[in-house]
Every structure is written in structure tokens, then in C-alpha cells.
Amino acid sequence: MLVFLVLGAALGILVALILTFAFGVADDSGLEPSAVSAVSYSKGQVFGFLLLVCGTAGVALGGIVALVLEWTVGRRTRRVRVDRESVTTVE
């Protein structure tokens, strides 16, 4: 399950990075003006905000995928008991 969580986090980081540079309109100072307020944010701040959201969503999505796979694949598994035998040959 840890692998799915790490992959989800990596996917979240990648999505945050893409969103940071895909929709950013920076002015001459390198700051992005907010559409709602008069505050400007740097690319690093925008990436940090998006990383909080996308990273969390990625980890959650990875966990959900791991649980769904466990439920679907786990139904087909069954426990068996195996006894070990050692065979020696006399020549």
C-alpha cells in the first residue's frame, strides 16, 4: 500500500508543477497577481499552495486505488497450509 501512496504523492507533485507553469501569467516582477485580491504571489508560493492540495489529493487517490485493488484481488486469494518435508537419499 505504501507504494501506491508514494506514487499518488509523486503524481500530485507532477500535477502541481504542471498547473503552476500552465496557467501562470507573471508580470515583469515575476509575481502573479491574484484575480480576487490585489496580492501578488511568486511561482514558488503558487507551487506550494498547489502542492498542498494536489499532493494531498494524490496520496488520497493512491490510497483509494490500493484499497480497491486489495478488495478486488484479495477476494481471489485463499490461505493454504503447507508442510515442509525433507527427503534424504541413501546411496
pTM value is 0.71
Separation CA 54–CA 42 (nearest Å): 18
Contact, 74 vs 26, CB < 8 A?
no
Average pLDDT, the chain: 87
The residue type found at 54 is C
User: What residues form DSSP beta bridges with 33?
Assistant: 40
pLDDT at 39: 83
Long-range contacts, stretch 67-76, CB < 8 angstroms, 24+ apart: 69/4, 70/1
C-alpha cell at 31: 509575481
pLDDT digits (tens, 9 = 90+) for 54-90: 999 999 999 999 999 989 887 777 788 999 888 888 8
